[in-house]
């Protein structure tokens, strides 16, 4: 039986790893988005995102991290921030040689989690732990 998952059509885990390396290189350098990653090892988050997307592209349940809503509940992610992140993800996917059609499919899967991440106002954020701070960074000029 042929496996027609998006993951296989893309070229498997190596393609996701390549895309996520480029994507997070860009996020860690971005004047606004980098603030969300100041104390997070880049390789760790690349691996987590790869495992998360493998699971959501039909590659099996290998992701062992938290669900997006819970993991990001202390972060004020506005619609504008989410859209900026999506644009950078799409650029990264295409820069790694993935076709427009496959990029569209990837972005559709990624965007399915938008409702779990985007908040209308800072007051919608919640601390995960007593020691958490609400992550809210102004847009750089």
Closest CA to 74 of 140, 131, 139: 131
> What does the alpha-carbon distance between residue 121 and residue 60 come to, in Å, rounded to a whole number?
35
Q: pTM (2 decimals)?
A: 0.94
> What per-residue confidence (pLDDT) applies to 60?
85
> What per-residue confidence (pLDDT) applies to 2?
40
> What per-residue confidence (pLDDT) applies to 4?
60
Residue numbers of the chain with a pLDDT score lower than 70: 1-4
> What per-residue confidence (pLDDT) applies to 5?
82
> What per-residue confidence (pLDDT) applies to 45?
96
> What per-residue confidence (pLDDT) applies to 137?
97
> What does the alpha-carbon distance between residue 50 and residue 14 come to, in Å, rounded to a whole number?
9
Torsion angle of the four alpha carbons 46, 28, 23, 132, in this order, in degrees rounded to the nearest 10: 50
For the chain, which domains are there? 11-124 (1.10.490.10)
Closest CA to 20 of 45, 57, 55: 45
């Amino acid at each position: 039986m042929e496996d027609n998952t998006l993951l296989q059509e893309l070229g498997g885990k190596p393609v996701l790893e390549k895309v996520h390396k480029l994507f997070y290189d860009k996020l860690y350098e971005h004047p606004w988005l980098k603030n969300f990653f100041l104390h997070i090892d880049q390789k760790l988050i690349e691996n987590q995102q790869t495992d998360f997307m493998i699971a959501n592209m039909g590659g099996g349940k290998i992701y062992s991290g938290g669900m997006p809503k819970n993991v990001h509940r202390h972060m004020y992610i506005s619609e504008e921030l989410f859209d900026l992140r999506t644009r950078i993800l799409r650029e990264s996917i295409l820069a790694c040689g993935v076709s427009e059609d496959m990029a569209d499919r990837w972005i559709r899967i990624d965007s399915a989690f938008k409702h779990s991440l985007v908040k209308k106002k800072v007051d919608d954020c919640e601390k995960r732990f007593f020691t958490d701070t609400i992550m809210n960074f102004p847009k750089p000029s």
